[in-house]
């Protein structure tokens, strides 16, 4: 049976448990004070199963969190040839959200690009431009005349580690896990022209479950 903890979390959980045990040995009072931090560490790396909606051309949320104001912005140039502004959906993950990221559409990874950067609060718009990020371009499985979308993993104020398990050319399925960001962060989704947004600003969304948009 699968334990609903992301593999990256076990070293941190083990360290927290060891410290908690030592504190309890030194003083039950100190151990009790440290226990909430250990519990939070376990909760942070939780990786629950999700049921992904069926349907053609749906864009599913790649992250848990709160949908920030929807805007038009130019996608990162490292994975996007067009300089035209596109609809951007941004999801802010606080330290209590599930931080495992999931693929938003069926398709193929056509570009990956990591860029070092700064660590502004992930809820600020300038985080999209200046913060450390991993950019992922995905072309739809049944492309037709539809263009792909771009997903950006963005480090936040306390986040210092972006992990992406995808490879260029890889076929991906909607709802599959593809990475994680530690600790507190943001994901941006740049939609192709003609996409229809189905989620609302400030809505709470769930990775692999909430429908964000529909492609043309």
The pLDDT score that the predictor gives to residue 96 is 87
C-alpha to C-alpha distance for 80 and 195, rounded to whole angstroms: 17
Quick check: 30 pLDDT over 50? yes
Quick check: 101 pLDDT over 80? yes
Q: What is the CA radius of gyration of the chain?
A: 18
Q: In 3D, which of 89, 164, 95 has the Cα closest to residue 132?
A: 164
The pLDDT score that the predictor gives to residue 155 is 83
Percent of the chain whose pLDDT exceeds 70? 88
The pLDDT score that the predictor gives to residue 133 is 87
Quick check: 10 pLDDT over 50? yes
Residue among 90, 128, 135, 185 flagged as catalytic = 185
The pLDDT score that the predictor gives to residue 143 is 59
Work out the average pLDDT over 108-121.
82
Quick check: 26 pLDDT over 70? yes
For 168-202, write each residue's pLDDT tens digit: 999 999 999 999 987 768 899 999 988 999 999 99
In the chain, DSSP assigns E strands to 58-60, 65-67, 71-73, 86-93, 100-102, 107-115, 133-140, 149-155, 161-164, 171-172, 177-182, 185-190, 196-197, 204-205, 211-214
Indicate the pTM of the whole model.
0.86
Reply yes or no on whether 123 is catalytic.
no
The H-or-E segment that residue 44 falls in is helix 28-44
Strand partners, 185: 93, 155
For 53-97, write each residue's pLDDT tens digit: 998 899 999 999 999 999 998 888 777 667 788 999 999 988 888
Strands across the sheet containing 161-164: 100-102, 177-182, 161-164
Contact, 211 vs 199, CB < 8 A?
yes
C-alpha to C-alpha distance for 202 and 194, rounded to whole angstroms: 23
The pLDDT score that the predictor gives to residue 186 is 87
Q: How confident is the model at residue 145 (pLDDT cuts 50, 70, 90)?
A: very low
Q: In 3D, which of 151, 33, 39 has the Cα closest to residue 103?
A: 151
Please state which of the ranges 56-60, 118-122, 160-164 shows the lowest mean pLDDT. Answer: 118-122
Distances in Å between the alpha carbon of 134 and those of 35, 51, 84, 142? 33, 26, 20, 25
Give me the count of residues in the chain: 216
């Amino acid at each position: 049976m699968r334990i609903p903890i992301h593999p990256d979390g076990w070293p941190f959980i083990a360290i927290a448990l060891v410290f908690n045990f030592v504190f309890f040995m030194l003083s039950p009072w100190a151990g009790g004070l440290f226990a909430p931090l250990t519990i939070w560490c376990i909760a942070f790396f939780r990786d629950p199963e999700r049921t992904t909606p069926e349907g053609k051309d749906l864009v599913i949320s790649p992250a848990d969190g709160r949908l920030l104001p929807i805007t038009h912005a130019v996608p990162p140039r490292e994975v996007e040839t067009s300089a035209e502004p596109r609809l951007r959906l941004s999801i802010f993950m606080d330290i209590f959200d599930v931080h495992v990221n999931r693929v938003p559409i069926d398709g193929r990874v056509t570009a990956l690009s990591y860029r070092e950067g700064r660590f502004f609060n992930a809820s600020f718009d300038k985080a999209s431009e200046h913060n450390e990020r991993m950019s992922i371009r995905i072309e739809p499985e049944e492309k037709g005349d539809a263009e792909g979308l771009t997903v950006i993993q963005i480090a936040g104020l306390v986040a210092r580690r972006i992990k992406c398990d995808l490879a260029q050319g890889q076929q991906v399925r909607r709802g599959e896990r593809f990475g994680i960001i530690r600790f507190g962060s943001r994901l941006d989704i740049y939609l192709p022209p003609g996409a229809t947004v189905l989620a609302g600003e400030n809505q709470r969304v769930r990775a692999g479950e909430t429908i964000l948009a529909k492609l043309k």
